[in-house]
Amino acid sequence: MANSEPAPRISDLLRLPAGAVDLQAIDTRATPGFTGSGKADATTAICHLRPHLADMQEQLYAEGRTGGQRSLLLVLQGMDTAGKGSTVKHVVGLLDPMGVQYHAFKQPTIEEREHHFLWRVKRRLPPPGIVGVFDRSHYEDVIVVRVHELVPPETWSCRYSVINRFEGKLVASGTRVVKCFLHISKEEQRRRLLARLDDPAKHWKYNPGDVDERAYWDEYQQAYSDAFAQCNTDAAPWYAVPADRKWYRNWAVTKILTERLDEMALTWPNPQGWNPDKERARLAPDGWA
Ligand code: AMP
Ligand code: MG
């Protein structure tokens, strides 16, 4: 019976297929897998996911504190205004900050430019037990760098395989890599830029340079599409999250994170080097021992 089938995993629904990707064919206002009716339902659904998500994060943290090697890296990419920062606030904000390591990658500094493009990335990888969050990432080195011809094509085109090897090793060493592309339409970006102009509380987010970047929309989409075709491995898959509806984006990234943590089959670590009964005996009220 159809209604007894398990609900599809959002990470399966949003996983980009292998090979060439037509980003234009993806509806950025779609809400795949969401059965509620809008923002209020999505907010409630996120509230319901939170306790389990928080437990798993704590188990991961506890594992890291007791000799485990595993961690998780959430990579967020998207056009300007796609909502990377907002996803950090609403989704990563559900987690205990003690177990989170966030980093936003900006234009490389002079020092960073002197090194291999992965140098600054390797320094920010999450240690055992930690959920790392990359707001932009090494993918900028095959995207903005390509669009603005910051290096010659023979340089950026070699980077795909370098990235695949790097991510493969990262996964083999115990880091789960979850890459989310927050996919908005050009029209939605226009609306969001206008909203930033209209609201003085959003002026700080407005960057006139974003309007200049808009002129390169198609080039960015092409660069993203090629990056996904080249670097969407089973070890480190890409998810395309329709992001015109902010509430769907937040719910979908929360679900993907939950599902990928579920796969880790996390548990509470056993006591190491001590025995609860013996410790309890040592805590007998004074005078009883
Ligand atoms: P924002 O995320 O709005 O704070 O902007 C950060 C800026 O840094 C964006 O315009 C990115 O394209 C740029 N950026 C990030 N990584 C690189 C990179 N490897 N090379 C050149 N620009 C970069
Ligand atoms: Mg920006």
Domain boundaries, the chain: 10-267
Q: Which ligand has the nearest atom to the CA of 77?
A: 1
Amino acid at 116: H
pLDDT higher than 60, residue 43: yes
- Find out whether the beta carbon of 165 lies less than 6 Å from any atom of ligand 1: no
Distance (angstroms) between ligand 2 centre and the Cα of 269 equals 41
Distance (angstroms) between ligand 2 centre and the Cα of 104 equals 11
pLDDT higher than 50, residue 1: no
pLDDT digits (tens, 9 = 90+) for 255-278: 999 999 999 999 999 999 999 999
pLDDT of residue 287: 62
The C-alpha atoms of residue 215 and residue 247 are separated, in whole angstroms, by 27
285 vs 261, which has greater pLDDT?
Answer: 261
Taking the CA of residue 106 as reference, the ligand 1 atom at the shortest distance is 8
Distance (angstroms) between ligand 2 centre and the Cα of 80 equals 5
Spatial contact of 183 and 240, defined as CB atoms under 8 Å apart:
yes
Taking the CA of residue 141 as reference, the ligand 1 atom at the shortest distance is 19
The C-alpha atoms of residue 272 and residue 65 are separated, in whole angstroms, by 11
Of 202, 180, 210, 203, whose CA–CA distance to 92 is shortest?
180
pLDDT digits (tens, 9 = 90+) for 155-213: 999 999 999 999 999 999 999 999 999 999 999 999 999 999 999 999 999 999 999 99
Q: Which ligand has the nearest atom to the CA of 159?
A: 1
The predicted model gives 13-17 an average pLDDT of 97
pLDDT digits (tens, 9 = 90+) for 44-64: 999 999 999 999 999 999 999
Count, residues in the chain: 289
Spatial contact of 73 and 125, defined as CB atoms under 8 Å apart:
yes
The C-alpha atoms of residue 245 and residue 30 are separated, in whole angstroms, by 8
pLDDT of residue 288: 55
Q: Output the residue whose Cα is nearest ligand 1's atom 4.
A: 106
H or E segment at 156? Answer: helix 153-172
- Find out whether the beta carbon of 136 lies less than 6 Å from any atom of ligand 1: yes
The C-alpha atoms of residue 41 and residue 43 are separated, in whole angstroms, by 5
Distance (angstroms) between ligand 1 centre and the Cα of 131 equals 22
What pTM, to 2 d.p., does this model score?
A: 0.96
pLDDT of residue 6: 82
| DSSP SS3 for 129 | coil
Q: 175-183 and 100-104 as β-strands: parallel, antiparallel, unpaired?
A: unpaired
At 7, the pLDDT band (50, 70, 90 cuts) reads confident
Q: Given strand 131-135, what is the order of strands in its sheet? A: 100-104, 131-135, 71-78, 175-183, 238-242
Q: Could you tell me what percent of the chain has a pLDDT over 70? A: 98
The C-alpha atoms of residue 118 and residue 99 are separated, in whole angstroms, by 23
pLDDT digits (tens, 9 = 90+) for 201-252: 999 999 999 999 999 999 999 999 999 999 999 999 999 999 999 999 999 9
CA dihedral sign, ordered 178, 184, 189, 192: negative
| DSSP SS3 for 262 | helix
CATH class of the 10-267 domain in this structure? alpha beta
The C-alpha atoms of residue 10 and residue 108 are separated, in whole angstroms, by 34
Amino acid at 261: L
pLDDT of residue 2: 54
- Find out whether the beta carbon of 142 lies less than 6 Å from any atom of ligand 1: no
